[in-house]
Amino acid sequence: MTPPLFLQMHSLPIFIDEVQYAPELFSYIKITIDNGAAPGSFWLTGSQAFKMMDLAQESLAGRVALLHMPALSQHEIYGSGSNVPFSVDLDALKQRKTTGQQALLTEMYERIWKGSMPGLVSGKFTDRDVFYNSYLQTYIERDVSELIAHVDKLQFLDFIRAAACRAGQMLNVHDIAMDIGVSDDTAKRWLQVLEKSEVIFYLRPYSNNLLKRSIKTPKLYFFDTGLAAYLTKYTTPEILANGAISGALLENYVVSEIRKTYFNDAKDCLLWYYRDKSSNEIDMVIESDGLLHPLEIKRSVNPGSELIGAFEVLDKGSVPRGKGAILCMRPELSAINADNFIVPIWII
């Protein structure tokens, strides 16, 4: 069926899934829009983010809203089903508490281990290992092979695994390259593929002209902690909870979840981390409404007040500091003082 006939056969509005496999449709969709089709006449979805972006920007620039939809958020899976962007506001935190589902340490690591892919969450696929194995095979065979000519597929799988072992850590391209025996330049290109296809993302370091000693290296995170746990060969949530990277994957989970609360609400956000040459470090900084909100992520049930000491370094910058928080495994919402809260991770 030709694109014009296809569009004639279907009344608007129309929903087209995996539209990247029919690139010839885009120019005809553009013509239909230019001829007066109402906003919302076309809903286009696809699993290949890089290809979708290229097609949309090439053919539908100025005519389309682009929404990046990561996997489901914690609140969508285990809470009320709704999605509200996370903020360090006491009233908002109290409201989140009423709609979330409490999780202790073992339950939290089950969430981390299982991940948040819709196919698993919905129950459509019941075997987690088979699901992630198939996901990786399909991703490398279809997406990666299209972006990297003559790629060694087994080596690329080892590369993703090497990246997963460093989730929640500062990016060290050379170490990843050494692990699998490729050059630093190859590792950089392959990381760009992972980022472009939304397997990984980075948290950039916060800096401004008054914080001259801050470092410039980003931190690496996976969109889905279930995939990272599968790649690093943790076979049960219990083993993961006691594993060498349990803290890093908990941090990855928190950062990813906060990010998802914004993206799944079609909102952008400014998320950073902070570290300087004096080893002052803040796990996450949310910049919102002209304020910096520092966040520390800890596995502890009883985090000490000393953990907020690094927050003060932000006062040397030009953007005022707002409320801060320690995100941890304490079961109930609490506070260190009027400006710094203790927030259970299950509330995010």
Length of the chain measured in residues: 348
How do residues 31-51 score in pLDDT, each as one tens digit? 999 999 999 999 998 877 767
Q: Are 257 and 222 in contact (CB under 8 A)?
A: no
> With 90 as the cut, is the pLDDT of residue 53 above it?
no
- Please tell me the predicted confidence (pLDDT) of residue 79: 85
CB-CB contact of 164 with 231 (8 Å): yes
> How confident is the model over 55-76, as pLDDT tens digits?
777 778 888 888 888 889 998 9
Q: Which helix (H) or strand (E) holds 76?
A: helix 74-78
pTM across the whole model: 0.91
- The pLDDT tens digits for 201-253 are 999 999 877 777 778 899 999 999 999 999 999 999 999 999 999 999 999 99
What letter represents residue 151's amino acid? V
pLDDT 10s digits, 93-134: 999 999 999 999 999 999 999 999 999 999 999 999 999 999
Instruction: Give every CB contact of residue 150 below 8 A, 6+ residues apart in sequence.
Output: none
pLDDT tens-digit map of 133-148: 999 999 999 889 988 9
pLDDT in tens, 273-329: 999 988 889 999 999 999 999 999 999 999 999 999 999 999 988 899 999 999 999
